[in-house]
Amino acid sequence: MSKSKTKKDKTPSPKKEFRNQITEQLKNALNGLEQKLGKKEFEARIKKAGKLLAAGIKTKLVKPAKSNPVKKNSVTSEETAA
């Protein structure tokens, strides 16, 4: 009765995927800082920055609100005068 654990090929959530893209771009942009801080400290700071930047991203698309057409009263000036 051994239970074998199998990993499913899961794709990361859109938020995590976006966070990974952010961290890669930050690594490329701040390459000189890595040499000054050291690899471990740099990785930790980039990870924190990626989390903070991705925190405000909403994963679901916002549906636009349905706009109800405004019904205009078709009263003419002749009808109001009578």
- pLDDT tens for residues 43-76? 999 999 999 888 877 656 556 677 776 666 666 6
Phi-psi region of 38 (alpha: psi -120 to 50; beta: other; left: phi over 0): left
CA distance 15 to 40: 24
Q: 4 vs 11, which has greater pLDDT?
A: 11
CA distance 69 to 57: 32
DSSP label at residue 59: S
**In 3D, which of 61, 63, 53 has the Cα closest to residue 26?**
53
DSSP label at residue 56: T
Residue 16 has a pLDDT of 86
Q: Is 30 helix (H, G, I), strand (E, B) or coil?
A: coil
Q: 53 vs 1, which has greater pLDDT?
A: 53
Q: 41 vs 6, which has greater pLDDT?
A: 41
Look up the pTM and report it.
Answer: 0.54
